[in-house]
Amino acid sequence: MWTRARGVVLALVILLAAAVAIAAIRSGDQHGRLDPRSADPYGSRAVAELLADRGVSTRVVTTLSEARTAAGPGTTLLIAVPDLLTHRQQSLLYAATESSGGRTVLIAAKSPSIGTLAPGVTADPALSFDSKLTPGCGLPAARRAGAADTGGIRYTTSVSHADSCYPSDGLPTLVRVPAASGNGDTVVLGAPDILYNDRLDEQGNASLALQLLGSRSHLVWYLLSLSDDSATDTGDRTFMDLLPSGWLWGTLQLFIAAALAALWRARRLGPLVPERLPVAIRASETVEGRARLYRKANARDRAAAALRSTTRTRLAPLVGVPVAQAHAPEALLPALSAHLRDDGQALHALLFGPPPRDDAALIALADQLDALEREVRRP
C-alpha cells in the first residue's frame, strides 16, 4: 500500500509545503489594507497625513454603532469594504446617512450592497482593467484631478443629476449621487487604488482622493471588525442566505461537471468483440468448477435443470425431433416412447420432473439420464 500511495503522499506534502511558504512570504503584502494608520504599500496612512495637513481630522471606527453616530453634515463617512456588511448593517447604515447632510464614500461596492447603500446605482458584472482613465464628466473634483486609477467595478445609475465620471467602455467607474434632501451625497468608487500609499503619487490619484475625502472637516474611516456585535445579528436569514453566491455557483458547476462525466463514462462502446483467451481451459475443468459453485450454493435445482436440458438437447435429434422442440414435452416424449416402446410416464418424470431432494437423488438422476441416453443410442 505504501509503494502505491507514496507518490501521491509526496505530491501532497510538496503542495502543502509550497502553500505554507507562499502564505508566509505574502503574509505581509495586504497587511493593513485601506487602514489610514498603516504605512504598508496597501495602507492609506499617506492620505490621512495629507488630509491632516489641510485641517481634516481622520478617525477610525470599527463598529456599526460608531459609524452611525458619526454621520453628520460636517462628516465624510468612508466605508472601506461595504460588501462584507450584512444586509441589516447596510440598511441601518443607509438610514443613518440618507438625510445626515454629509458625504458617504463606498469603496468598490458590488451587488447586492450597492443597491442598499446607494439606491439607483447598479454594479456591472464586467470589470475594468484600465490603469489610466480620464474624468469625462463635469464633477469639479474629477476635472481638477485629471486622469486617475479608478478602474475596477463599473456602474450604471438611474438617478437624475448624478455625476458619472472616469468611464471605461462607456460605463463610469466613479459615481456621485446627490441626496434626495439636504446637501449630502454618496460617492461610489470602483477601485481603492487612489487611496493606497504606493499609488497615491501616480497621475491625479492624490488630488482626487483629497478632494473626495476632504470636502468636510471630519473624516470617519469605517473598518469592519470581528468585535462588532451587529455583524452576528443576521435576522431571519437562513444558512443558505449566509453562503456567498460564489459557493452556490461553484456547487452548481460541480454538479454539471459530475453529470457530464457520468454521461461520458456511461456511453456505449459498440458491440462486443470476441477475444481469444490467452490460455486454453479444458472442458472438464470448467464443468468441475461450475459443479463446485452449484454445490457451494446448494443449488440442486439448477444442476438438475442443466443435466436434463443437456440430455433433452442430445436426445431430440436421435428420435427425429427438431432441437428447437427438444424442451417441449408434447413433442419429445411421444417420439421417445415410440422409440423405446415405453408408456412415457417414467420418461416424463425423468426428463421434466421436480428437482431432487438431496445430493444422493441428484447423483441418481445423473445416472438415470446417462442410462437413458445410452439406451436411445443403442442400435
Those residues whose C-beta lies under 8 Å from the C-beta of residue 200, and which sit 6 or more positions away, are 46, 47, 194, 206, 209
Give the pLDDT band of residue 232 (cuts 50, 70, 90): low
Residue 133 clears pLDDT 60, i.e. is over it? yes
For 168-177, what is each residue's pLDDT tens digit? 999 999 999 9
pLDDT at residue 272, rounded to an integer: 72
CA distances from 271 to 105, 261, 274, 276 (A): 68, 22, 10, 16
Which residue type sits at 25? I
Q: According to the model, what pLDDT value does residue 361 have?
A: 92
The per-residue pLDDT for 27 is: 55
For residue 276, the model assigns a pLDDT of 78
Residue 113 to residue 118: CA distance in whole angstroms: 8
Judge whether 110 and 83 are in contact, CB under 8 Å. Answer: yes
pLDDT tens digits for 14-32? 999 998 888 777 655 555 7
Which CB contacts under 8 angstroms, 24+ apart, belong to 366-375? 366/307, 369/307, 369/308, 369/311, 372/311, 372/315, 372/347, 373/311, 373/314, 373/315, 375/340
Share the mean pLDDT of the chain.
88
pLDDT mean over 252-268: 86
Rg (CA), the chain: 43
- Return the C-alpha cell found at 266: 456511461
What mean pLDDT is predicted for residues 299-313?
92
pLDDT-based confidence at residue 379 (cuts at 50, 70, 90) = confident
Give CA–CA dist 20/1, Å, rounded.
Answer: 28
- CA–CA gap between residue 358 and residue 244 (Å, rounded): 69
119 band by pLDDT with thresholds 50, 70 and 90: very high
Residue type for position 30: Q
- Global pTM reads 0.57
Q: What's the pLDDT tens digit per position in 144-178?
A: 999 999 989 999 999 988 999 999 999 999 999 99
Q: Are the C-beta atoms of residues 212 and 102 closer than 8 Å to each other?
A: no
Q: Count how many residues are written for the chain.
A: 379
344: number of Cβ within 10 Å = 15
pLDDT, one tens digit per residue, over 30-79 is: 557 899 999 999 999 999 999 999 999 999 999 999 999 999 999 999 99
Over residues 296-318, the mean pLDDT reads 92
Task: Compute CA distances 290 → 123, 202, 275, 286, 301, whole Å.
Answer: 72, 86, 22, 6, 14
Task: Please state, for a pLDDT cut of 70, what percent of the chain lies above it.
Answer: 93
What is the set of domains in the chain, with CATH numbers? 29-230 (3.40.50), 283-377 (no CATH)
Backbone φ and ψ of 149, nearest 5°: -85, 75
Answer yes or no: is pLDDT of 211 > 70.
yes
CB atoms within 10 A of CB 301: 13
